[in-house]
Structure 1
Amino acid sequence: MKKFFLSLLFLIGAAAAGGYYLWQDVHRVILQPVYTQGPNKTFIVKRGVGFNRLTAMLKEAQLIDNDVYFKLYAKYYKFGRKIKAGEYSIAAGTHPLGLLQKLSSGAVVQHNVVFIEGSSAKELRAALLKYKDLLQLKSTQMSEAELLKAIGASESKLEGLLLAETYRVERGSTDIALLKRAYKSMQKLLQQQWQQRDKKLPYKTPYEALIMASIVEKETGASAERPVIAGVFINRMNIGMRLQTDPTVIYGMGDRYKGNITRADLKRPSAYNTYVINGLPPSPIATVGPEAIRAALNPEKTKYLYFVAKGNGSHQFSKSLRDHNNAVRRYQLQRKKGYRSAPSN
């Protein structure tokens, strides 16, 4: 009996020693990088993938070499249930434990999607097609009304409702989720700036301020000029003068616009022809960025009523029609195609 117990103790001790050395070996392997040199590797964890399949994929990608130890360690520390789907960037030198930590952190790759200032809603929706390998495109077959409902918008037109910004998105997310973010970002910024606005402005609602911001956005890409141009339009509104701005006419023309505006175009009745209508058009005319919104709600106070493009990206501002006409002759008559944004003579 004594001999039996000694043998049993020996076996238990041997097993314990073996287990200890095995676990030491597991720790050694789990902390030893397999991919040691080269650029970052992209590794995608698909939603619903099992841990055995995930381990096989990591081995195929040469990010681990001992799949038995990898699964043993992951099972013991319950990593299998923590793995999150998504696209990951794996740096050279990342050991298997680092892989488990990264894949369970949810620190997936973020990609940039840019909504450009001044683009139309139609152009913006078309631009989403170039992200078809990144996003799940759910909105391509939706009508404007269906899309507005999907993003939670109460307005009747999409134009101007999405904030021009660079958005960070995960691979596999939907365009609807992105558009909803852009809409909510616009609403948040617009409300914040509305609270900080010059209270003497003639806008009745934040939406009217957004309409003005879209006009300012189309009139200039020069950051310093936006508040000045907004101020010109406010000056016109305050004295009952029509806005008489070319971008609204162009927007109203739609596909009929071929690169130039004729006198007949300026006289043609349209809800967006600010040479004919009084006040603001019924909706924004473009996608708007933060600077244009700030300019529309806090315009620069001047006595300017007119401006004309110089041809170098900036404008000449004038207080009187006589000075403006002189500026037109100086800057515009030398060019084949003019761009006024001022009353026709």
Structure 2
Amino acid sequence: MIRPVLLAAGLAIIAVVAGAGYWLWSGIHEIENRSMIEEATVEPAPVEVRPGQSFAAVANQLVQRDLVTDSTRLRLHARWHGYADRIQPGEYALEPGLTVAELVRRMARGQVIQYQFTIIEGWTFGTLWEQLGLHPAVTPTLPADATESEIMAAIDRDEVAAEGRFLPETYQFARGTRDIDILRRANRALERELTRAWEQRVGQLPLDEPDEALILASIIEKETAAPEERRRIAGVFVRRLEQGMRLQTDPTVIYGLGDRFDGRLRTRDLREDTPFNTYTRHGLPPTPIAMAGRASIHAAVDPLPGDALFFVSRGDGTHHFSATYDEHRQAVRRYQLGLDEP
């Protein structure tokens, strides 16, 4: 009687083990091979891993969202592969065809959703700060009305004016990145680019330091959006500085007017003396007047040789360049006043 009992017990154990094995195998097979989302008419909400959150909590979140059927087998899978203790906080995208196994691998690698913030050439710092504060994925650390001095101190650039000190380009970051961290990246990128350009400057320039090149670059940025004109305009301003002429550039006057500028530059504005009025003062203004892009920075230290000392807008985004005042006066009559010189 003992042998049949032992046999029955053994068969029962085998059945249990086999059942458990099948249960585990089927779960792992699902984790490795079944897509969480087959098709999506709208983009599904990402999976969020909060700082300090355990993998067990993440697994339960996936079950609650019906992305996996069982959290136990998912935890076993993650433990077996060494992922459970390596998941990183952030947002993880869900797309059709993505398996749970691949999602967990992404969590272990920290392949979080990347957001973008683009600094546009010609922006002032005021515009940059405003737009950064509106970005939904950026975490604010300073009040919206923080002073420029407070902001620059927060990125370890005390005593440096904020205007023009951030490189225009697109920056990628994870949700929750602090505003000052994005500014710090953009500032360091600007400093690297400016240093590189200054080291590659061409010939003898009437510029004593990299900051003066940056100021000139910001004026070039505001004067033209035509890539082929940047070095020509740089050449005009460099020759004016060399000859002791005033730069007489409208964008600096407009910047000096600040909020008082209503879209129309008047004669009285050109005569009102401010530190930025290059009609009333010689040399460069005290700070940049906008964010200068790479092309304008390099144009400032590599101006195009020539004899032009004047330029006027043609009204189509390009300019007419002149070597003499008489030629410039004729160009103004033609392009600005719509008159032909008799």
Does TM, normalized by the shorter one, top 0.5? yes
> Which residue pairs with 2:80 in the alignment?
76
- How much does 1:264 deviate? 2.1
Identify which of 102, 109, 112 aligns with 1:108: 112
Find the aligned partners of 1:257 and 1:24 in 2 and give their Cα distance. Answer: 72
Identify which of 58, 62, 67 aligns with 2:66: 62
What is the letter of the counterpart of residue 138 of structure 1?
T
> Which residue pairs with 2:138 in the alignment?
135
Find the aligned partners of 1:288 and 1:138 in 2 and give their Cα distance. Answer: 26
Mind listing any 5+ residue stretches in structure 2 that lack a counterpart?
none
- How much does 1:195 deviate? 0.6
Q: Does 1:250 align with 2:251?
A: no
Find the aligned partners of 2:131 and 2:275 in 1 and give their Cα distance. Answer: 27
Identify which of 144, 147, 172 aligns with 2:176: 172
- How much does 1:155 deviate? 4.2
Q: 1:6 to 1:28 in 2, by over 3 A?
A: same
Partners of 2:149 and 2:158 within 8 A in 1: no
Which whole-Å deviations, capped at 9, do the CAs of 1:226-255 have from their partners, x for residues lacking one? 111011000111111111111111111112
Find the aligned partners of 2:75 and 2:85 in 1 and give their Cα distance. Answer: 12
> Which residue pairs with 1:205 in the alignment?
209
Partners of 1:160 and 1:284 within 8 A in 2: yes
Secondary structure (helix, strand or coil) at the match of 1:145 reads helix
Which whole-Å deviations, capped at 9, do the CAs of 1:136-191 have from their partners, x for residues lacking one? 01232432111111112244310000111111121111111000000000000000
Q: Does 1:41 align with 2:71?
A: no
Secondary structure (helix, strand or coil) at the match of 2:182 reads helix
Query: Where do residues 1-345 of structure 1 align in structure 2 (5 Å cutoff)?
Result: 17-30=18-31, 31-38=33-40, 40-43=43-46, 44-131=48-135, 133-139=136-142, 140-334=144-338
Farther off after superposition, 141-150 or 306-315? 141-150
- How much does 1:70 deviate? 1.5
- How much does 1:16 deviate? 5.0
Partners of 1:42 and 1:87 within 8 A in 2: no
State percent identity of aligned pairs: 37
Secondary structure (helix, strand or coil) at the match of 1:177 reads helix
Find the aligned partners of 1:229 and 1:328 in 2 and give their Cα distance. Answer: 17
Secondary structure (helix, strand or coil) at the match of 1:97 reads helix
Which whole-Å deviations, capped at 9, do the CAs of 1:101-140 have from their partners, x for residues lacking one? 1221211111121111111111111112320x21001232
Find the aligned partners of 1:207 and 1:289 in 2 and give their Cα distance. Answer: 14
What is the letter of the counterpart of residue 177 of structure 1?
D
- How much does 1:14 deviate? 5.4
Q: 1:207 to 1:154 in 2, by over 3 A?
A: farther
Partners of 2:28 and 2:74 within 8 A in 1: no
Find the aligned partners of 1:119 and 1:34 in 2 and give their Cα distance. Answer: 43
- How much does 1:272 deviate? 0.8
Partners of 1:29 and 1:66 within 8 A in 2: no
Find the aligned partners of 1:15 and 1:88 in 2 and give their Cα distance. Answer: 38
Partners of 1:115 and 1:124 within 8 A in 2: yes
Which whole-Å deviations, capped at 9, do the CAs of 1:259-312 have from their partners, x for residues lacking one? 222222222221111111111111101111111101101111111000000111
Farther off after superposition, 13-22 or 308-317? 13-22
Partners of 2:24 and 2:73 within 8 A in 1: no
Partners of 2:149 and 2:159 within 8 A in 1: no
Secondary structure (helix, strand or coil) at the match of 1:298 reads coil
What is the letter of the counterpart of residue 193 of structure 1?
A
Secondary structure (helix, strand or coil) at the match of 1:316 reads strand
Which whole-Å deviations, capped at 9, do the CAs of 1:301-336 have from their partners, x for residues lacking one? 11100000011111011011000000000000139x
> Which residue pairs with 1:342 in the alignment?
none
Farther off after superposition, 181-190 or 91-100? 91-100
Partners of 1:228 and 1:300 within 8 A in 2: yes
Find the aligned partners of 1:313 and 1:91 in 2 and give their Cα distance. Answer: 43
Secondary structure (helix, strand or coil) at the match of 1:37 reads coil
Q: 1:130 to 1:153 in 2, by over 3 A?
A: same
